[in-house]
A and B are shown apart, each in its own frame.
Chain A
Amino acid sequence: MNGSQAHYRAFELNWHSYGLAIPELPSCSVDALAGADPLIAIEPEEPNCWPELEPGPHDTPFLQMARGDLRLTVDDIGCFRITGGKRIAWHRLHSGVSDQDISTFLLGSAVGALLIQRGIFVLHGNALEKDGKAIVCMGHSGAGKSTLAYALMQQGWRLLADDLVAVSPDGLVLPGIPRIKLWHDAAKAFGLDPDRLPPIRQGMHKYLLMGDALQRAPQSAPLQAMYLIHQHRPDAADPDAGQISRITSQKTAALRLRNQAFRPRFVRGLGQEGPNFMALAMLQQRVPLATLPLPQGITAMQSWLQEQDLLMAAELVTV
């Protein structure tokens, strides 16, 4: 869509993208853009006009960071520069890189960096809504966050945000990116036909569910509970292993929550640790954090979830 432009709404921000369609984001007309909310620009740009950054203590060969400026290179795919919490510049590294390749990494990393630059507290997980209230399910890469989110959607929950969960200072989860990514085997286990789903990128066996394929919650919702996913092993020695357990120790909760922040390296490299720490402390006081022992296997997980009241469970269960 070279030369074209599109408008989107997410995280209570207005997004204006030039030259790149981002079908995962909810689109809106220019007239519908909420006037008072900030406008974020997403634009193609040649990286040779990007000023050199002094090496930072948290840089890696793929990431350079300074206050208000983050550079990300995805080998053979693209470069991104995110500045001032206002702008994402992108560049494709060769003509074989598709728009979808760019938007995959733009949504996954660049948007997260921009939110962090704006001082927004971002958790790495999925947010779901029911009866106007939200829960967040967190876990490291591969822990089964998306599978859990889809299972919950089968039980009446609506998707509020995937991957990046932005929480406002007053404890509201902002509506984020309304899509989830399911692996081939998980899609099949849910009875979906992977051949009829768009892959996240050409040739990959991981698929996008968005638009009509899921129920999304369009309004922000107060965060009621936070859950840490861990795969429950039936042979585990701990008799409480199958129970939702609230983490009551302030210190443990703070450490666990810190580890679930979206890309702590970005937070440090962008000099946002201070505001982030304050947000984390407030959130921890306000919202219970509990571990969610998910049974292995989708059928077992679905029936286990049916017996849980996730809006209340974290608050009630103490160990």
Chain B
Amino acid sequence: MSEQEPYWYLASYPKSGNTWCRVFITELRRLAGFDSEEATSAALQEERKLRLNRDLATGSIVSSRHWLDDQLGIDSSDLSWAELDKMRGRAGHQRALYAECLRYHKVHDAFLSADSGGRPVVPVESCCGAVVVIRHPADVAVSLSHFFSWPIDRCVAFLLDEQAGLCRSSKRGGQQVRQFMGTWANHVQSWVDQQLIPVLLLRYEDLLANPNTEFTRLAHFLDLPTDEVLISEAVANTRFDKLRAKEEEEGGFREKPEGCERFFRSGRSGEGREQLTTEQILQLEEAFSETLMRFGYALNTPVTA
């Protein structure tokens, strides 16, 4: 059978800290000398500083057409989203050809899609687990608003939309396939409550408040070194102000969409409460109260039983 390599998912609703985690992993691996070609090269000193656009190669996004086409043996754009979602879960665990570094796959899909017939949209065979990063939906709304250049209202509606997804249009092509997410709560629960692969749940707020502890948990889960000094250094090198400065220095981050001023914008938590109207906060809290409380997010408004 095909050669199997250990692999993990970094699963999150968009704008919840997925990229931050991938940048941290890249930096930790570099510091630990895992990516030996770089670490041992004569240019080691020059490479001491993290270079965002060059190094962020933690693995394909699960929704990449290029990857799916390779696994399926067909042009995935000849299939409808519904047909494709039924197949996606069986694609991808075979070693991808010519992939240099393919272990930590970013994924924004919910674990199940409305079209996947009760089966996961992502491959789970020999998967070591999923790091699920969550962030308060009010803060996600603010961040989405900057990322997509949408008004906050539209972002709140997006978080509440049972049919929400990325790349939903069936009328144009693209390098990624449709990623079904559903509501924010649906997305979180689909990953946390599935029983097929182990989960490490991280809250964005905790990554900010206790980075050393939380990133050590991440490193442990991914079988990466958990040496205190290494973790501290990697945390320090990937602090938000550092990433933002890097983004400016390198003239823009590749994953930033057109119209979005900067990818690493604020990184703070609590912006949602400042920028959303009371009504918008209430909408989110009412719809997601159960999930918010389950994951330790305090509600602004008392829940009526």
What residues on B are CB-neighbors of A57 within 8 Å? 1-3
B residues in contact with A108, CB < 8 Å: 74-75, 78
A86 on the B face (CB < 8 A): no
A133 to B78, CA, bound (A): 30
Docked-complex contact B73 and A183, CB < 8 angstroms? no
CB pair A183–B173 under 8 Å, yes or no, is yes
Tell me if A268 and B171 are in contact (CB < 8 A). no
Is B66 on the interface with A (CB-CB < 8 A)?
Answer: yes
Chain A neighbourhood of B174, CB < 8 A: 142
Complex-state Cα separation, A68 to B171, whole angstroms: 37
Instruction: Let me know if B78 and A62 touch, CB within 8 A.
Output: no
Q: Interface 1/0s, chain B 63-79, versus A by CB < 8 A?
A: 00110011111111110
| Residues of chain B from 1 to 54 with CB closer than 8 A to chain A in the complex | 1-3
Give, as a whole number of angstroms, the nearest-CB distance from A157 to chain B.
Answer: 21
Asked whether A144 and B173 contact (CB < 8 A) given A60-B72, A62-B87, A62-B90, the answer is yes
Q: Are A75 and B173 in contact (CB under 8 A)?
A: no
Tell which of A63, A185, A201, A203 touches B78, judged by Cβ atoms closer than 8 Å.
A201
Interface size class of A (residues with CB under 8 A): 35 or more
- Knowing A76-B83, A204-B80, A237-B252, the reply to whether A268 touches B2 (Cβ < 8 A) is no
Query: Interface centre among B1, B173, B258, by most A CB within 10 Å?
Result: B173
A-side residues, CB < 8 A to B, are: 55, 57-63, 72, 74-77, 104-105, 108-109, 140-144, 146-147, 163, 181, 183-186, 200-201, 203-206, 233-238, 258-259, 263-266, 268, 296
B77 adjacent to A141 (CB under 8 Å): yes
A60 proximity list for chain B (CB < 8 A): 2, 71-73, 91, 94
Instruction: Give Cα distance in the complex from A42 to B232, angstroms.
Output: 63
Report the separation of the CA atoms of residues A104 and B75 in the bound assembly, to the nearest whole angstrom.
10
Complex contacts, A259 vs chain B, CB 8 Å: 98
A296 to B252, CA, bound (A): 17
Contact B90 A72 (CB under 8 A): no
In this assembly, does B294 line the interface, its C-beta being within 8 Å of a C-beta of chain A?
no
Residues of chain A with a CB closer than 8 A to B175's CB: 140-143
Q: How far is A184 from B77 in the complex, measured between Cα atoms in Å? A: 13
Measured CA separation A237–B169 after assembly (Å) = 30
